[in-house]
Structures are given as structure tokens and as C-alpha cells.
Amino acid sequence: MFNPFTEVIDESADFDLISQAKNGNRDALEKLVLRHQAWIYNIAVRMVFHPQDAEEVTQEVLIKAITRLSTFQGNSQFRTWLYRITANHVLNMKRRGAEMQPLTFSIYADAINQTPDLELPDPNSVPVDVPLLVEEAKIACTTGMLLCLDRKQRLVFTLGEIFGASDTIGSEILDMSPDNFRQSLARARRDLYQFMNNQCGLVNANNPCRCPKKTQGFINAGHVDPHHLQFVSLHVRQVRDAAANTVRVIDDVVDRQYATIYREHPFLQPSERVDWLRQILDRPEIRSALHLA
């Protein structure tokens, strides 16, 4: 699978499609967007949590990128240009969904601790296999933890730790020095690991919090909907497989315990991704700006 965050990237396919798109070739523009759409979407999910909100964010980013495509002259890498648009958007966009109520690790810990430990649901009472519900609870809970980081930390952590982008690539996208990217990533890792080491049984076996114990409580609280799984049902592959060619390695045993959890999260695809892309391209202002055929 194409991975835009590898250290050395062949952008010849992108440049071909850009050239055709600038000449009004709609098919080329669709192919260009679809090469990057899922990566933008997976960034957005980790910024806003809810997949439906992430689809909205992805559309906003794509509209910005598509309408500005004529300004891209090829003097820099397309990756840097496109993902800098993405980064600027997600750092400055209006709050929505899960971001409406600011979270801290303390608040998040209280919410988890107040969720009662319960038996798993009766398999005959739910429409999906119980292990899928447990996996949904695990992914939802650990994704929610990212909201306790500020936006910049969350984005740096997503690029550097989850997608494995190097300090060079991450700093180019965020328009900062590699040293600053490293320092910001180190702070995000420290804060998240400290919380998980004190709270999460996936990282520290001495912690009482266990995903199977919390699953029914999450269902009762509305955080997990057995009839509409937000993460597991969209699972195409794991992040570590999609980002297999990135260069950042997990440094030590302690880091491996929590970083692996995030790299095993699903790499998601937006629902109806071709349909809503075509809806964007059918907007009169988009067609006019790009002289689409």
C-alpha cells in the first residue's frame, strides 16, 4: 500500500496525476485524492475520535487541497504541501464532537474508574460476536485517551508514534525543526505512557482496568454500540501494516508495551469514500476552479 510518510518517497505517480488534474482531467484528480484520502482520514479520526466527524474534517481538508492544487508548482514535495494543509487545518479547525468537552487525563481516569466492572454480554443478546465488542471497547478507550493530549501533541504522536514518521518527515509537515518535533513527541509519549502505566491493564498487569470488564459498562453508557461498531467494523488492516515502511522504531521494552497498542489499531477507510469524493467534485465552485472535464 502507498505510504506517504516513508523517508524516501517516489512521487512520480502523484506528479503525473497532478499534471493531468490541472488540465481538467477529473479521473486523474479522483485517483490523486484517493491515494491520500485514507491517510488524511486516519489523522482526522485521532484528532476528533468519531468517524463521522473525521469524515467531515477529511472533506474540509480535501476541499482546501483541491481548490489550491493550481498553486502547487512542484518546487517541493507534494507530500509536504498536502499534509501541511492537513496539519494546519486540524490544528486550527473548530471544535466538534468529542472535542467539545475538553479532556484531561485526570477526568478520563475518573470516567473509566466510575464505569462498573461487569460480566460480558450474553452472546445471544448482542448482534455481533462478543470478542468484537471487547475489541471495540479497547480501541475506543485507547483512542479516547489521545484526546487528553493537546492538539499539537496529538498530531505529533499520530505522525511520529502511530504512523512511525521520522523526525525529518514530521518536522517538514509541521513546519518545525526536527529537534522540536522530537521534543514534542517525547512529551506526548511521556504523558500518555504515564497515564496508561498507572491506569491501563494492557500496559501494566498490576492495574485492575481490563477491557472485558469494562465492555458492558461502555455499552450501558453509550460509548460502544453493538449495532453500530465505529472501529472494528471498518477494520481493513492494522496501522503497523499500512505504515510498514516508515523508519521510526519502538525504542525499548517500556515503549513497546503501549506503542504496539496504537500500531495495532485498525487503519480505517472512510465509508462511501468514492461517492462523497464525487459529491465534492460535483460542487460548482470546485468544477469552476479546476475546469474539470
pLDDT at 256: 62
Please, what is the average pLDDT of the chain?
Answer: 90
pLDDT at 242: 82
Question: What pLDDT, in 10s, does the model give residues 93-113?
Answer: 999 888 988 899 999 999 999
Q: Is the pLDDT of residue 44 over 70?
A: yes
Q: Specify the pTM.
A: 0.92
Q: Is the pLDDT of residue 245 over 80?
A: no
For residues 140-161, average pLDDT: 97
pLDDT at 255: 57
Confidence of residue 253 (pLDDT cuts 50, 70, 90): very low
Q: Is the pLDDT of residue 287 over 80?
A: no
Question: What pLDDT, in 10s, does the model give residues 184-220?
Answer: 999 999 999 999 999 999 999 999 999 999 999 999 9
Burial 203-230 (b: 16+ CB within 10 A, else e): beeeeebebbbbbbbbbeeebbebeebb
